[in-house]
Structure 1
Amino acid sequence: MATSRRRDGFAVVLAVVAPFAVSAMLVPLRDRIENTDVALLLVVVVVAVAAFGNRPAGYLAALSAGVWFDFFFTAPYQRFTIGDGSDVETLVLLMAVGIAVTELAVWGRRQHAVANREAGYLAGIQAAAEIGATGGSSQDLIKQVSGQLVDTLHLRSARYQPGVAGLGSPPRLGRDGQILWKGSVWDVERKGLPADTDIELLVENAGLLHGRYLLSAVPKTSAPLSERRVAVTLADQVGAALG
């Protein structure tokens, strides 16, 4: 998380500085290079910033590119005014393309993150299944799944209690991925995981209760339905091994 914030902060600085630096370097070539070519080079800069940073950085890079294109390459020079209609069109297109490529970069990065996350889920489930299939220690499996639950749901901790269910009337993560608490479904999408109390995840097999995991969530932790269902699958691996 801290690394991501530092990267996004650096991207914002880059969004301001990079278009200015590239524009300034191209000024000596102003009489030999078409404005449309300059705009294309600035679009490349915007794409690079958007791919490295986040949406605000990409938008800021597009704005910065437009400002310095106007300042350095549209007559009258070194003034924020434009006297040629074609330069106005080029400026508008530069900023529009910059915003469009920013959205594409954000979408691509999001898809990449989803693919990596799903690969991690599958790897965790496979590792748990292998311990059960090869006759590994049930305690090792319980401990490994505890760690995988923490990673999957971004928890503070996950501890296992054998032979217990419902003690203390905690919110319960059901097999459908929904959380039931006090007779109603908890709105995870809006409220995040319950953090004032542990969340109960039952470990069962063929209708036989073996125990439960108590999940301690960080306040305002988002856990999509897909992640909650992975958590249930992980608990099932423990149930199958204990059964």
Structure 2
Amino acid sequence: MKTPLRDAAALAAGLLAPFLAALALLPWRTSLSPTNLALLLVVVVVAVSALGNRYAGALAALSAAAWFDFFHTQPYQTFHIRDRADIETAVLLLLVGLVVSQLAARARLLGTVAVTDATHLERLHTTTRRARVSASADEFVERVRGDLVDVLELKDCRFERGVPVGGPSRLEPDGGLAVPGWIWDVDRQGWPDGEIELPALAWGRDQGRFMLAPRDDARPPSLEARLVAVDLAVQAAAALAASPGDRTPA
């Protein structure tokens, strides 16, 4: 699985931002105390963590401690520290940077989860309303297809009428992923290669399946997003089952 571009950029920032900040603080190396310099570097660590992720934050904390040692403790331009107070400041910078980076990343994650959950809930409500006003089941299924592309951040999605024949990987009702011949952890391993089948089931009857085509560089969707996708497929199947002209033969 490829590293998403945003995560790669966050890791690069975690490595480079403290270095650039420590370099920019050189003119004030003798006028500011080592403690104040360390606090300014902590601000950089927090910024990287808030905009990136916890791994980028941890890397930024390590980078900040290293460049604080290199540029702002004697002897300068070495990774050796002579003064005990400077050693304590460097260690505290590392520890505080690690702690605040994880807290900042967690706060950002919680905020993202809250916004995402509200978005998913609104999407389900909107889809339910659409089911009542759609001119035909096919029109509603097309709308659900577009919703699945958005929810799962797909490259493409298509709907196939009839009973699913199986074969490809399948998104299960519990949000898990069934991959023939494998025990698959989608949160850790991401999407498998090829298309993924999402059955459209209603009242125990197969109405067809959505074939999901993930983007090559996409990160795996959250469990909440996958469960929303399953609910959307159920609503599409219910619309087909409730339409006499669209019923699938038993």
- Partners in 1 of 2:105 and 2:122 — Cα distance? 26
Q: Kindly indicate whether residue 19 of structure 2 is the aligned counterpart of residue 25 of structure 1.
A: no
Shift of the 5–126 alpha-carbon distance from structure 1 to 2, 3 Å rule, reads farther
Shift of the 188–85 alpha-carbon distance from structure 1 to 2, 3 Å rule, reads closer
Q: Kindly indicate whether residue 242 of structure 2 is the aligned counterpart of residue 239 of structure 1.
A: no
After superposition, the C-alpha distances for 1:118-151 in whole angstroms (9 at most, x for unaligned) are 2332232122111113345433321121122223
Counterpart of 1:123, as a letter, is: E
Shift of the 2–64 alpha-carbon distance from structure 1 to 2, 3 Å rule, reads closer
Q: Residue 201 of structure 1 corresponds to which residue in structure 2?
A: 199
Counterpart of 1:138, as a letter, is: A
Counterpart of 1:132, as a letter, is: A
Q: Kindly indicate whether residue 103 of structure 2 is the aligned counterpart of residue 104 of structure 1.
A: yes
TM-score (norm 1): 0.77
Secondary structure class of the residue paired with 2:29: helix
Q: Can you give the 5+ residue segments of structure 2 that lack an aligned partner in the other structure?
A: 243-250
> In the alignment, is the contact (CA less than 8 A) between 2:58 and 2:102 conserved in 1?
no
Q: Can you give the 5+ residue segments of structure 1 that lack an aligned partner in the other structure?
A: none
User: Which range moved further: 109-118 or 229-238?
Assistant: 109-118
User: Which range moved further: 147-156 or 187-196?
Assistant: 187-196
- Partners in 1 of 2:10 and 2:110 — Cα distance? 19
TM-score (norm 2): 0.75
- Partners in 2 of 1:27 and 1:181 — Cα distance? 58
Question: Which residue among 190, 213, 218 is the counterpart of 1:216?
Answer: 213
1:176-195 correspondence to structure 2 within 5 Å: 176-180=174-178, 187-189=184-186, 192-195=190-193
> In the alignment, is the contact (CA less than 8 A) between 1:178 and 1:186 conserved in 2?
no
Shift of the 117–186 alpha-carbon distance from structure 1 to 2, 3 Å rule, reads farther
How far residue 47 of structure 1 moved from its aligned partner, in angstroms, is: 1.7
- Partners in 2 of 1:64 and 1:178 — Cα distance? 38
Shift of the 178–54 alpha-carbon distance from structure 1 to 2, 3 Å rule, reads closer
Q: Residue 42 of structure 1 corresponds to which residue in structure 2?
A: 41
Q: CA RMSD in A?
A: 3.3
> In the alignment, is the contact (CA less than 8 A) between 2:178 and 2:184 conserved in 1?
no
Counterpart of 1:175, as a letter, is: P
> In the alignment, is the contact (CA less than 8 A) between 1:179 and 1:185 conserved in 2?
no
Percent identity between matched residues is 37
Q: Residue 9 of structure 1 corresponds to which residue in structure 2?
A: 12
After superposition, the C-alpha distances for 1:48-107 in whole angstroms (9 at most, x for unaligned) are 233233445434433343344334544455654433222211111111111211222222
1:153-168 correspondence to structure 2 within 5 Å: 153-162=152-161, 164-167=162-165
